[in-house]
């Protein structure tokens, strides 16, 4: 495993981050395809054995049970000072009027709840899951600054939003001397490259770590276009991410298959290698429900695509509508 700095910070993270949305009680929340604790633990252990030291979850994943499962496994399998835990806040955790968003009230309540579920005194990276249009950005950023100063988070990061919003947040933090976002967790893969227009250049210019989610497009880049999985059939959110450019997307999937066949490699390695070779990308977030998925992800670190292969993969792409945030 190779390690990289989290943007301009001194924190070392693995070149792959294990995304933990896959782990949670299936009956809780809106992810019926998640793995139970019994099935999740061997994969978390495998990730550690492969050198992955960074784990990303969120309070909303499977109604908090993802944090609980991940927290218990990491407590048992690893030393706290040797791992990096990231979680998020924004989506509702109950039906109360103040139970979602990025108000000071919800942030301070949610970080304590996440720490309890994870079984730790602090998280390494506390991220806003989305932009909150109902709360002044000053209120959000000051609350996050206080979370860091209280020792409950080491760094703060953001997830999918418009580049102008992220720029506004960075400017506001600097204006007030508050803790700044050090990372951007955004939607990026061969089927969705809109982040290349504004967000990636902004992050590269500002020294912000880019840790993309869904680098394999919910697995669509790893199989034939007409092949479906149990998760794909029940993943309502995922269906909305890739529903409007079917003909062009099919050509991209076919291009991945062609390059993979020519290389004699699994498609997942080719698709992930493309993400890893984007200059702005620090570490993509990979999910795994099977051991071979983790093995493919680690193997992709050594795959170097040629300029011709990159052109072959990219040329079928057409502009997409914004997907993954509003």
Report DSSP letters for 140-196, one per residue. Answer: HHHHHHHHHHTTSEEEEEEES--HHHHHHHHHHHHHHTPPPEEEEE-B-BTTB-GGG
d(CA 298, CA 294): 6
Instruction: Specify whether the CB–CB gap between 15 and 276 falls below 8 A.
Output: yes
Q: Which of 243, 232, 227 is nearest to 192 (CA)?
A: 243
Instruction: Specify whether the CB–CB gap between 298 and 1 falls below 8 A.
Output: yes
d(CA 62, CA 22): 9
| Catalytic positions | 61
d(CA 322, CA 320): 6
d(CA 71, CA 90): 20
DSSP 8-state secondary structure symbol assigned to residue 92: -
What pairing do the DSSP bridges indicate for beta strands 123-128 and 84-89?
Answer: parallel
């Amino acid at each position: 495993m190779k390690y990289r700095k989290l943007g301009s910070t001194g924190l070392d993270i693995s070149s792959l981050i294990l995304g933990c949305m896959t782990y949670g009680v299936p009956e809780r929340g809106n992810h019926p395809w998640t793995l139970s604790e019994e099935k999740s633990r061997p994969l978390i252990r495998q990730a550690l054995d492969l050198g992955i030291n960074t784990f990303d979850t969120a309070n909303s994943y499977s109604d908090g049970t993802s944090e609980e499962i991940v927290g218990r496994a990491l407590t048992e399998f690893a030393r706290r000072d040797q791992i990096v835990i990231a979680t998020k806040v924004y989506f509702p955790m109950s039906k109360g009027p103040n139970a979602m968003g990025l108000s000071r009230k919800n942030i301070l309540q949610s970080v304590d709840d996440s720490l309890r579920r994870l079984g730790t005194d602090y998280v390494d990276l506390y991220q806003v899951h989305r932009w909150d249009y109902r709360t002044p950005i000053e209120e959000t950023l000051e609350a996050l600054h206080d979370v860091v100063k209280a020792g409950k988070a080491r760094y703060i990061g953001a997830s999918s939003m418009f580049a102008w919003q992220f720029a506004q947040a960075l400017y506001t933090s600097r204006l007030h001397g508050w803790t700044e976002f050090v990372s951007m967790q955004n939607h990026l893969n061969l089927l969705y490259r809109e982040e290349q227009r504004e967000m990636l250049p902004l992050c590269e210019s500002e020294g912000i770590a880019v840790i993309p989610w869904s680098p394999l497009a919910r697995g669509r880049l790893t199989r034939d276009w007409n092949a479906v999985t149990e998760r794909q059939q029940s993943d309502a959110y995922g269906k909305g991410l890739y529903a409007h450019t079917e003909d062009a997307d099919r050509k991209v999937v076919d291009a991945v298959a062609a390059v993979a066949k020519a290389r004699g490699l699994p498609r997942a390695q080719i698709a992930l290698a493309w993400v890893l070779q984007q200059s702005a990308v620090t570490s993509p977030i990979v999910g795994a429900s099977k051991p071979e998925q983790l093995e493919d992800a680690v193997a992709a670190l050594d795959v170097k695509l040629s300029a011709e292969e990159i052109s072959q993969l990219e040329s079928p792409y057409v502009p997409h509508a914004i997907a993954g945030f509003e």
